[in-house]
């Protein structure tokens, strides 16, 4: 079985390829633009994207919307994580957190999957904290400033290990439980 991973983010594609291979599922990268509505819910963004892709005739695909939610910033950047990453980046987030001692945060990943003409939506989460400076060279996005254990950033953790604890890895495992009920 091969699922099409619809994204412009090659980092996500690599994570999906590694994670899905553990379940004997292939992941093929597909770039198809779709509307990402601005809303307060990752699930709403994914549901709308799935509607658009199915209406275009695509089947057997995965899309996701992910966000980093920082407690001290009342959940910001949350659903606006991609926009914030493009505009102020990690340096800007660290600046916002400069004098903040409480650094709890979490990453969330909502996966929408259409398989055998059935829809599945799951939400994975990884709790952690925002580091005081960037660390590591692996991964992408907020990985250099997010730590699941207060010791290493996601950018310092090899992808195989990261997928065992990350928001996306957790969402993939939930997804696989749902796929097993269908196929």
- Where residue 26 sits, what CATH number does that domain have? 3.90.950.10
**Series of mean pLDDT values for 10-residue runs along the chain (183 residues):** 92 88 89 82 94 95 96 96 96 97 97 95 98 94 97 95 93 92 82
Tell me if residue 65 is catalytic: yes
pLDDT of residue 182: 84
Radius of gyration of the chain from its Cα atoms, rounded to whole angstroms: 16
Domain count, the chain: 1
pLDDT of residue 139: 87
Catalytic one among 65, 71, 127, 149? 65
Is the pTM above the cut of 0.85?
yes
pLDDT of residue 127: 98
In terms of phi and psi (left: phi > 0; alpha: psi -120 to 50; beta: otherwise), the region of 24 is left
Query: Which DSSP letter does residue 77 get?
Result: B
Domain holding 50, by residue range, is 2-182
Instruction: For residue 181, give Cα distances in angstroms to 43, 123, 177.
Output: 21, 17, 7
* Both tokens assigned to 22: 């553990």
pLDDT of residue 64: 94
């Amino acid at each position: 079985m091969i699922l099409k991973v619809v994204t412009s983010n090659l980092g996500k594609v690599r994570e999906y390829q590694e994670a899905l291979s553990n379940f004997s599922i292939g992941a093929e990268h597909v770039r198809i633009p779709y509307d990402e509505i601005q809303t307060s819910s990752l699930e709403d963004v994914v549901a709308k994207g799935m509607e658009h892709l199915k209406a275009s005739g695509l089947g057997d695909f995965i899309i996701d919307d992910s966000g980093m939610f920082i407690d001290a910033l009342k959940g910001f950047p949350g659903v606006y994580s991609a926009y914030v990453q493009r505009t102020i980046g990690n340096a800007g987030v660290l600046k916002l957190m400069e004098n903040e001692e409480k650094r709890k945060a979490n990453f969330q990943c909502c996966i929408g999957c259409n398989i055998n003409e059935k829809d599945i939506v799951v939400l994975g989460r990884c709790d952690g904290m925002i580091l005081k400076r960037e660390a590591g060279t692996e991964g992408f996005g907020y990985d250099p400033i997010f730590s699941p254990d207060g010791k290493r950033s996601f950018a310092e953790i090899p992808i195989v290990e990261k997928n065992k604890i990350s928001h996306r890895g957790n969402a993939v495992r939930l997804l696989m439980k749902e796929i097993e009920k269908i196929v």
